[in-house]
Each structure stands twice: as structure tokens, then as C-alpha cells.
Amino acid sequence: MSDWNAAQYHRLSDPQRGWGIRVLERLQPVAGERILDIGCGTGRLTSEIPARAPGTVATGMDRSWTMLEQARERFASIAAFAQADGTALPFGTSFDAVFSTATFHWIQDHDALFGEIHRVLKPGGRLVSQCGGGPNLQRLYQRASAMRSSPPFRDFFHGWTNPWNFETVEATEIRLRTTGFVDVRVSLEAAQTPFRSVGEYAEFVTTVCLRHHLDRLPQELREPFVDELAEAAAGDDPPLTLDYWRLNIDARKRVSIADARKAQGSPEGLHYA
């Protein structure tokens, strides 16, 4: 699997940044907090955390080396960046908050993901995130599915499995509570995203939505694959609009009586249930 075209993504990801800014408003970072951004990409949102709350310590984490190269080039003086997988976080219990946007839907194992987030959060720490969910990009991916079964593309998609995981509100609520989170709030919202031209639509889906498909195809079939999808989208009502759906996730790690006593400086040796 090829890595992201990170420079292109940085230039094209205004929709993701716009959604992320609203998630940052939910996060409400406070000076002195340590905050982990899972799936930081090129660091556009990670850099906003200390900008909004000077004195916060922001760490951006991503699986993609090319994304991290862009993030460090632009924001190394503002935040730290680490390469890691969301299901195997290389941190101890050290964060006051975990923040994430447009990432969890690229992780198949949400049980492991939420377990790791719960582990690295301090007692009382919060998870504030958003990802694709429910019928996210259903129209685009249904069309792509039909094309995977048709000539001249079908020979390149043997053994295909969808690389995304668009979870439901209900399944996410259950998973978070089972993991040990409290104050769980999960919701789904539409985020229709229009483009001004066939060219802009094609460039965006090439970089952001169809990377896994295009990796399967020889160079000479990639442009025809995207062009067919873009032309179909031009006939939609409204035209050239991606049917994004965003799954909003807020939760908090439970504070036990023992944690509360410890935070208040209770004497060592006492045991609290």
C-alpha cells in the first residue's frame, strides 16, 4: 500500500479542517493539559491546540510517515509528532485528552482503539473526536463497488475488502461503555461537501477517498476509474457533492474513588474501593 500524498492532502483538506475546527471547539483545551491528536495528518489541527490554549502540550500521532514529514516541516516548533498505530499507542497513562478527526474510520479494530485510548488517558481524561460513520460516502463507494466488478477494472480487485470502518451510533456507544468510558455522547450528522468542477471533484477523491482503489490499478487505468466516477457525480442532484456523514464521539475516563483520593493527596497505605 502506497503512503498518502501528504503535500496534496494538506492543500486539499479544507473540508476535514473545517470539521476539525468544530471538534476543537468541543475539546476546549486548557493551559497545562497534555493532549494527544490521533491521526494528526499534516498537523493542521494539532497546531491549533496550543494556539487556542497557550501552555498546552500537544502531541500529534499518525501511521503515515509522509504525513508526519509535512507536519514536522510546518509545526515542529509548536507540537511533537510520533509515528504509531491507534491500536498500539506508544505512551503511558499521560494525557488529559485525546482528540481525533477523520481518522477512526481507517482503523478496523475499534475495540483495540478505544482500549488504547482509555489506557493512555488519565482518570477523568476526555475523548473528543469525529470520524466517518453510518452511510458515509455511500454513493461514491457504491459506484466504486460496481466498477470493481466491471471490465476493464475487475481483474485488479480479486480479494478486495473495504479498508474503511463506518460505525453506527449504537455500536459506538456500546463499545465505549464496555471499555469503561462514562459521559458517553455519540451522534451522526450530515456534512454534504460540494465541488465547483469535475476537475476539483476528481482531484479530491483521487487524494482523499480512492487511494486504496487506485493502488490496485495500473497507472493507465487510474485516471479512467476516477473520471467515470466524477462524470457520474456531475449528474447527481445536487451535482459533484460527496455525501459525507460525521460520527461525533465524546466520552470521559471514569474517576474512581481511589483516583480522587490520590489526586487530593490522601495518605499512602489507605485503600479505597
In the chain, where are the structural domains located? 6-262
Question: How far is CA 88 from its chain centroid?
Answer: 16
In whole angstroms, what is the distance from residue 7 CA to residue 71 CA?
A: 10
Is there a cis peptide before residue 218, judged by omega within 30 degrees of 0? no
Residue 105: what pLDDT?
97
- Name the nearest CA neighbour of 167 among 224, 105, 229, 215: 105
Which portions of the chain are predicted below pLDDT 50? 266-273
- Using DSSP's 3-state secondary structure scheme, residue 137 falls into coil
Full-model pTM: 0.91
Residue 273: what pLDDT?
29
In whole angstroms, what is the distance from residue 64 CA to residue 56 CA?
A: 24
Residue 260: what pLDDT?
67
Q: What contacts 87, CB < 8 A, 6 or more positions away?
A: 107, 109, 112, 113, 116
Residue 265: what pLDDT?
60
**Neighbour order of strands in the sheet with 95-101:** 80-83, 57-62, 34-38, 95-101, 121-132, 241-253, 181-194
Q: What is the mean pLDDT of the chain?
A: 93
In whole angstroms, what is the distance from residue 219 CA to residue 238 CA?
A: 31
**What is the CATH number assigned to the segment(s) 6-262?**
3.40.50.150
Residue 263: what pLDDT?
64
